[in-house]
Amino acid sequence: MRNTVSIALTFLALLIIHVQARTDPRQCTTSCGDIHNIGYPFRLRGDPSHCGDPDYELYCDANNRTILNFHAGLYYVKRISYADRVIRLVDVNLATGNCGLPYRSLGIEEVLGDGRYNRKYSSPHASFVRCSVEINSMRNNIVPCLSGNTSRVYVNYTDYMLYYLDIPRSCSVFAMALSGGSDDPKVNLPTSYDDIRRKLQLGFDLTWTVECRDCLADGGYCQFLTEERNRFRCSKEEDYATQLRNAILYLAAVFVIGMTILCRYILAPLVVFNFILHKCCSKRNRIEQ
């Protein structure tokens, strides 16, 4: 009888583990090409429905390469670091290092407004600029395969967003591509098109934050606490009312404490001094009379 109960309990435990493995999205792992560790929150298209998070879906193309469709752009996945929550991507049109445009223009604002992924605002990127006349100061940055007799295309590599004052009046920005950067301030940004092209070929990093995505979906917003962009505090609109109330209470407390100090240590001694002075003056007047 005791052996029967033990066998039944063992079978029940194995059944529970099996069910959890089939329903827990963190238990699924898969691979595609060079990416062997595709796990939560990522999933491959065609995986069982309980695997990973649909907002972080990747797919395997006909050449067995892992691809992320991000804001209608296609990017090869070069690396996934779950410890740092970093995924490295490279635009499919720029991965070969050939002359040309990205598959789709992608600016830092689109990343910052996404919620699923994040990146430092002051990150390097390339801006493709079309000009109606030749710009001598940018001749080293000309994109030969996109330039002709009627217009010329240059690429500007910066770690800040270009505004209309940053480019000649005869030019306009028509495409952007994110790039990887260096934390070493001594490393100079590439200046020639060939150097920029090789830089774009290496791809760029994004961090992911499932919790931040959930915070935004719940009506809040993410306040990132460090430069790593993976530590944040979820705040909501009602927090403003709470902060305002706390500020009013704080100012009221400071006012009460200030008035108490003023009355006790300044006004009270003045009252006593005036009383003593009045007594002395009254006594002196009586003596003189």
Domain boundaries, the chain: 1-64, 68-236, 244-278
Provide the pLDDT for residue 186. 55
How is residue 94 written in tokens? 């720029």
Characterize 82-104 residue by residue with b for buried, 16 or more Cβ atoms within 10 angstroms of its Cβ, and e for exposed.
eeebbbbbbbbbbbeeeeebbbb
Looking at beta carbons, which pairs linking 279-286 to residues 24 or more positions away fall under 8 Å?
A: none
Average pLDDT per run of 10 along the chain, which is 289 residues long? 50 41 66 93 94 95 96 96 94 95 94 86 89 91 93 91 81 93 67 93 93 86 64 66 76 85 77 73 65
pTM as predicted:
0.72
Distances (CA, A) of 48 to 44, 51, 67, 146: 9, 6, 18, 44
Is residue 224 within 8 A of residue 231, CB to CB? The reply is yes
Is residue 129 within 8 A of residue 122, CB to CB? The reply is no
Provide the pLDDT for residue 4. 55
Provide the pLDDT for residue 188. 79
Provide the pLDDT for residue 216. 84
Provide the pLDDT for residue 276. 78
Is residue 128 within 8 A of residue 153, CB to CB? The reply is yes
The 8-class DSSP code of residue 263 comes to I
